[in-house]
Structure formats: structure tokens, C-alpha cells
Amino acid sequence: MEKLSRTPLFEEHVRLGARMVGFAGWEMPIQYKGLREEHDCVRTHVGLFDVSHMGEIRFKGPQALKSLDWLTTNDVSKLEDGQAHYSLLPNAQGGLVDDIYVYCLKKNQDYLVCVNAANIQKDFEWMKTHNQGAELTNESDSWGQIAVQGPKAPQVLDEVLGFKVSELPKNAIREFQFQGHLGYVATTGYTGENGGEVFIQAAGTAALWQELLKKGANFGVQPIGLGARDTLRTEMKYSLYGNEIDDHSSPYEAGLGWVIKPTKKDFIGKSPILASKEGGLKRQLVGFKMLEKGIPRHGYVLFSFDNKEIGLVTSGTHSPSLDEPIGIGYVQAAHAAEGSQILVDIRGRKVKAQVVSTPFLKK
């Protein structure tokens, strides 16, 4: 049996009565008080997520920009000090090694890359293999990470960190010190709400978590598990690696063309990625709502009304915010238009659904 890793906040989760589960090789909280209450807390107040299982890889030195520009699809040269962007790590066949966030700490010299927990070693090996001379370090064990998300999250961060995080623009990153520990707060997130993601040296993670709970009490803060994290991101149609995207995904079919900058630079997998678009997309990732009773789940098959298999559900849930079942999935391009009706095979019963505009929850 695989031994699960633990984040610096493991003892905090146990103390708070979280139900712990294995996730991407880590022992993580799936819920504390309950999924619905935690989900609603993030949409209306503020929630704390332990995301210390995510990976952090550092690119430093005079070749840092050159290396990242070759490895990723977005235009890293546009990032100034204290700016960040979402990007993709493509493979040579035009699929995706991972989806990532790139944080510019010092232009041309120092970048922090946040990668998915299940992909840390895979990504690091890929980066080393295709490195263009950067000083490359896997710093994942050195950092804890806490996501603070919700309408009142900026106020909580202002209180705890002692400066106006609430005045930072979207996709910014700023350094801070907390009880002698180095940290960075980034105005990024995975819920569709305001707030930030706080990187802090691992030894300071528990103290920061406790301070966020203490000073956030007046704002209705709660710790939030992976269950609500998934329903929150599904309502926004944010991709989850291993569900919506993987080593074989076309980023254009996945709706991620907005982070591909082929006219600005060259990058790994550029030719097959562009070919997938120029040849006409064979399938597209869509959001859909159920028209009949039933909840779509990952792996369920999608059909047309003439009983032809047309795709697959990648994620699905009962949306707590909308109080109705929603799903994300790939369908053949002919069935991808908004308003198209499809069938979801739910344990042998074909149930009607309709393609809708996304995000499901309009903020």
C-alpha cells in the first residue's frame, strides 16, 4: 500500500476534525463540516484551502526566461516583476504535460512555477530534459501553500499580512515576511472568487493557517476541503489535470487557446498544436446542464439522439450554487454549439442534457 505524504498542515486538519482521504499521493482533507456548507462559505464569505500538495519549481539565472519560453505556451517575456499568468506545459506530440502558473519574481532572472501535485516529479524531469540553461530547482518540499478564497478573502489577507493585498491587481505576486518566514501572496485562485494563494516557507505554514482562522473569524472564515474545491472549480469550468486535460489533449479542443502565443515565439509541440487547430477541431470541451434527473460523472459516455457515441464526461456534480446537476465533457464538434441537446448514459439510462455557455456561474 502506497504511503501517503502529509502537508505541513496535516495536524491542523486532524485537530479540526477533517475527514482525510488519499489524493495524488497525499493525505488531504475532503471535508470538514460538509461539502454544501463549505462551498457556500467560499461563495459568500471566505474559505481556507490547504494546497501545500501543489509543486513549486524555480527557474533562476540569465537563461531562466529562455528556458520557460521554450517549455511553455504563453508569452513569459511579457511578465514584469510581480506579475503572473496561467500557462501550459506541452509535450512534443502537442498534448499537455501539465497546466501551470508562472510567477515572475525578477524579470529575466527568477521565476516560480506552480505545478499540479500528481505531476511534480514528471514535470520536473520534463523541465530538466528540455532546460535551456536555467538554474532549475524543485522547491516543493520547502513551501506550504494556502488558498484564501471568497468575497471577503482580500480583507482577511489585509488583516493578516499587514498590507493592502486587496489593492493588488489580478495575477499579481508580492513578497512578505510572517513571523520570520518568507512568503509570497499571489492574487490567483481556482474558485472564481476574489482572494489569493499564499506561498510560505513550510515551517511557517501552520502558524499562518492559525492566524488566518483567528483573524478571519469576524469575516466568517472556514477551512474548506477538496470536495468543495472540486464543485467550486466545476461551476467555473476550470480544467482539472487528469480529467479535462492530459498528455493526449489538444489545448485548442480543451478551450485553452487563449494561453497559446504562437506568433510571439517558438515552443515545444508548437507544430502539432497548431495543426490540430488548422485541420479543424474534431471535438470540443463543453459545459452542459441536465434536462432530466441524474448527475453526470467522470467517465460517463455521451450520445447523440440517433444513439451514436459522441463523447465523454470529464467532470460532473450537483452544483450547490445553482442547485442543479452540471457537467463538463468532450463532444464531437458538430454537437458543441450552445443549445445542442445530448444524452448522458447514467448507468445504462440515457438522460437528456443541453450544452450551455460557461462558466455555469456568472460572476
Fold category of 10-51+141-235 in CATH: Gyrase A; domain 2 (3.30.1360)
pLDDT at 303 over 70: yes
Looking at the chain, the domain(s) classified CATH 2.40.30.110 span: 282-356
What is the pLDDT, as a whole number, of residue 78? Answer: 98
- Boundaries of CATH 3.30.1360.120 in the chain? 10-51+141-235
The CATH 3.30.70.1400 portion of the chain extends over 55-140
Count of alpha carbons within 13 angstroms of residue 186, beta-carbon side: 24
Say which amino acid occupies 115.
Answer: V
Which DSSP helix (H) or strand (E) runs through 259?
A: none
Residue 1 has pLDDT above 70, yes or no: no
For residue 296, which of 362, 258, 352 has the smallest C-alpha distance?
A: 352
The string of pLDDT tens digits covering residues 230-277 is: 999 999 999 999 999 999 999 999 999 999 999 999 999 999 999 999
Phi, psi of 214 (to 5 degrees): -70, -55
Average pLDDT over residues 58-73: 98
Give the CATH architecture of domain 55-140. Answer: 2-Layer Sandwich (3.30)
Q: What pLDDT digit, counting tens, does each position of 92-137 carry?
A: 999 999 999 999 999 999 999 999 999 999 999 999 999 999 999 9
DSSP H or E stretch at residue 156: helix 153-161
Q: pLDDT-derived band of residue 54, with 50, 70 and 90 as boundaries?
A: very high
Q: SS3 of 110, please? A: strand
Average pLDDT over residues 132-146: 98
Alpha carbon distance 355, 29 (integer Å)? 33
CATH of 282-356 among 3.40.50.300, 2.40.30.110, 1.10.3720.10, 3.40.50.410:
2.40.30.110
Share above pLDDT 90 across residues of the chain, in percent, rounded to a whole number: 98
Length of the chain: 363
Question: What is the model's pTM?
Answer: 0.96
